[in-house]
C-alpha cells in the first residue's frame, strides 16, 4: 500500500462535512487496489518525476473508478451485493444515497484537477481527456455495450467492450502521466492504456473462472450467468496465450516511449501475477 | 425559444453516434426551458458581450441540470413518471440506460468547457465552480438534505435546501457570466444566483399548490405527499410576500453589479410571471 497517496486521499475527503453521502463516498473509496493511480505513478517516475506530482490527477481518476463501481453495482445495473470485500454501496447505504455518492464522486473528480496546481493548459487537457474516455468514447460507452448487448458476441466485439469499458480509464491514466511529463505522443499513450485495460480485463475474466468469490472480495453478480466475457469466445488456454500476445505488444509500445520502464514493469508484473 | 442556442445544442449532440444512451441523452435535453442558460446570457449581454460567447458554458450547465432531472426521477429517488411534458427518462428507456445517460451528461458537461475556446484560466475557474456548486457545496448536498431529511423542517431549513439544491446551479450561472465578463465580485454573483434559485423554488412550490400537473408538464411524484416544501412553513399569502421580499434583495444586488440589467430583468419577469 502506498501510504503517502492513501493519506492524500484521506486529507482530501476530510474537506467534506459528515453526512450520509460523504460517508458513502469515503466508504467506497476505501480499500481500492489503486491500480490506475499506480500506473500513472510508474510512468511519471520513469521520466524522473516525483510521484507526488501526479497525486491530484490520480485521485481524480480513482474517484471516477469508484463512482463507476457504485453505479455499476446498482440493482438496475449489475445488481452486485459485494464490492472491495464488503457490502456494495447501495447495500451498506440506501440506494438513493448510493446514486448521489456516485454522482458526487464524478462531479468532484473534475474539481480536484481544476483546483490543483497544474498549469491551466494541463488542467484543460486532463479534463478533456477524462471526460472523453470516461464518457461516450470510453467507459460509459463500454458499459452500454455490456448492458444492452449492442455488440456482436465475437472476439472483435469483446475487444470493443474491453477497449472502452476497462481501457477507457487506463487510457486516461497513461495520458495524465504523459501530460505531466510533457510527452506529445498521445497515440502511443492511448494504445498503451488500451492494452493495459484489455489485459487487465482478460485476466479478470480468467480469475472469475478459476477463483472463488471470497478470494476476489466480490460477489458474483446476479446477472453474471448471462455475461459476455473473454471465456465466451476463448478457452482458458487460448485466453492465456492471447494475454501473452497482448503483453508482447504492450512491451513493444513501452519501448517506443522513451522512459525508464522499471516502475511500469513492476506494476505490470503485479497485474500479471495477481 | 432561442433558436441559435437550440441549434448549438443539437450540433453538439450530433458528435455522438446513435445508441440507446445517446438517444436517451438527446431525449431528455429536448424540451427544457433553458432558464439557467438564459440567466447567463442576460448577464453577459448586460456587459455588452454577445451571448454566443456563453454558449459552451451554458450548454454545460444545461447538461448538468438535465442529468440531475434524470437521476432525481429514478425509482430509488423521487420516482417520477413524467418530466418536461413526457415520460421521464427511465420510463421512456430502461432504468440502466437512464442511469448511464445521466452519468454521460455529467461527464461530458465538463468536457464541453475543457474543449471550448475560453482561456485556460477561465476554463479552470468555470470547472472548479461547476464541480463545487453542482456537488457537495450545492446541488447534490441539497438533494441529500431533501432525500434523507437531514435538516430541520423550519424556514431556516427550507432556505438551506433551496440555497443548495436549486441555488447551486443558479450560482454557477451567475459565476460563469461573471468569469466571461471579467467581474471579480464573486460574492455578489453567488448571492445573486442563490436568490434567483430560492425565488425560483418558492414559485415552483406555489405553482405545485395552484396548478394541475398537466399545466406544469410533470407528474406529482409518488413521494410528493411527504415532501418538505415552502408551503410546509408558509401559508400561500405569506409565501407570496416572502417572494416579494426576495425580489427586492435581488434588485439591490443587481444594482451593486454595474451592468445593464435590462436583459436580466426580462428573465426575472418571465420567472415571476410563469
How confident is the model at residue A224, as a pLDDT? 59
At residue A19, does pLDDT exceed 70?
A: yes
How confident is the model at residue A258, as a pLDDT? 86
Instruction: Report the residue from A111, A128, A143 with minimal CB separation from B128.
Output: A111
Is residue B105 within 8 A of residue B111, CB to CB? The reply is no
CB burial readout B239-262, b (16+ within 10 A) else e: beebbeebeeebeebbeebebebe
Between chain A and chain B, the number of residue pairs with CB atoms below 8 A apart is 148
Is residue B76 within 8 A of residue A79, CB to CB? The reply is no
- Tell me the whole-structure pTM to 2 decimals: 0.95
Q: Tell me how close the Cα of B140 comes to any Cα of chain A, in angstroms.
A: 7
CB burial readout B134-153, b (16+ within 10 A) else e: bbbbbbbbbbbbbbbeebee
Q: Which residue from A233, A172, A230, A166 is spatially nearest to A200, judged by alpha carbons?
A: A166
The CA-atom distances, in angstroms, between B273 and each of A120, B2, B151, B270 are 42, 19, 30, 5
Domain ranges within chain A, ordered by starting residue = 3-267
At residue B135, does pLDDT exceed 90?
A: yes
Q: Report pLDDT digits (tens) over A80-133.
A: 999 989 999 999 999 999 999 999 999 999 999 999 999 999 999 999 999 999
**Percent of chain A as helix, strand, coil, to the nearest 5:** 70, 0, 25
Angstrom distance (rounded) from CA B67 to CA B123: 21
Q: Which three cell numbers stand for residue B238?
A: 405569506
Mean pLDDT of A231-247: 94
Instruction: Report the residue from B96, B97, B114 with minimal CB separation from A128.
Output: B114
Which of A13, A129, A135 would you mutate first to test chain B, the one with the most B CBs within 10 A?
A: A135
Which of A101, A124, A133 would you mutate first to test chain B, the one with the most B CBs within 10 A?
A: A124
Architecture of domain B3-267: Orthogonal Bundle (1.10)
Q: Is the dihedral of CA B21, B27, B30, B33 positive or negative?
A: negative
Which of A14, A15, A17, A21 would you mutate first to test chain B, the one with the most B CBs within 10 A?
A: A21
The DSSP line for A19-86 is SHHHHHHHHHHTT---HHHHHHHHHHHHTT--GGGGHHHHHHHHHHHHHHHHHHTSTTTT--SEETTE
Angstrom distance (rounded) from CA A126 to CA A112: 11
Residue A261 burial by CB count (10 A; 0-12/13-18/19+): exposed, middle or buried?
A: middle
Q: Sorting pLDDT into bands at 50, 70 and 90, what band is B216?
A: low
Q: Is the dihedral of CA A120, B40, B130, B32 positive or negative?
A: negative
B21/A140 touch (CB, cutoff 8 Å), yes or no: yes
CA angle, A259 then A260 then A263, to 5°: 125
Better-predicted residue by pLDDT, B122 or A256: B122
Q: Tell me how close the Cα of B88 comes to any Cα of chain A, in angstroms.
A: 16
Q: Report pLDDT digits (tens) over A44-87.
A: 999 999 999 999 999 999 999 999 999 999 999 999 999 989 99
Amino acid at each position: 500500500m502506498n501510504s503517502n497517496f492513501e493519506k492524500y486521499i484521506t486529507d482530501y475527503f476530510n474537506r467534506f462535512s459528515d453526512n450520509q453521502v460523504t460517508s458513502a463516498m469515503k466508504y467506497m473509496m476505501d480499500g481500492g487496489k489503486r491500480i490506475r493511480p499506480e500506473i500513472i505513478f510508474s510512468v511519471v517516475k520513469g521520466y524522473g518525476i516525483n510521484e507526488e506530482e501526479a497525486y491530484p490527477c490520480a485521485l481524480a481518476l480513482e474517484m471516477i473508478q469508484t463512482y463507476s463501481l457504485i453505479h455499476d453495482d446498482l440493482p438496475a445495473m449489475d445488481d452486485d451485493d459485494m464490492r472491495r470485500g464488503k457490502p456494495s454501496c447501495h447495500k451498506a447505504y440506501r440506494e438513493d444515497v448510493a446514486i448521489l455518492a456516485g454522482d458526487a464522486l464524478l462531479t468532484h473528480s473534475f474539481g480536484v484537477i481544476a483546483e490543483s496546481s497544474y498549469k491551466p493548459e494541463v488542467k484543460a487537457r486532463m479534463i478533456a481527456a477524462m471526460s472523453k474516455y470516461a464518457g461516450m468514447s470510453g467507459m460509459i460507452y463500454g458499459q452500454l455495450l455490456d448492458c444492452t448487448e449492442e455488440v456482436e458476441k465475437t472476439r472483435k466485439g469483446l475487444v470493443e467492450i474491453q477497449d472502452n469499458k476497462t481501457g477507457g480509464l487506463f487510457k486516461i491514466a497513461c495520458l495524465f502521466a504523459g501530460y505531466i511529463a510533457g510527452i506529445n505522443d498521445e497515440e502511443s499513450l492511448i494504445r498503451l492504456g488500451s492494452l493495459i485495460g484489455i489485459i487487465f480485463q482478460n485476466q479478470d475474466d480468467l480469475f472469475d473462472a478459476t477463483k472463488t468469490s471470497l478470494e476476489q472480495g466480490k460477489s458474483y453478480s446476479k446477472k453474471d450467468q448471462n455475461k459476455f466475457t473473454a471465456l465466451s469466445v476463448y478457452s482458458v488456454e487460448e485466453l492465456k496465450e492471447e494475454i501473452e500476445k497482448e503483453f508482447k505488444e504492450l512491451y513493444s509500445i513501452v519501448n517506443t516511449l522513451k522512459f525508464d520502464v522499471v516502475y511500469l514493469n513492476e506494476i505490470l508484473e503485479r497485474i500479471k501475477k495477481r
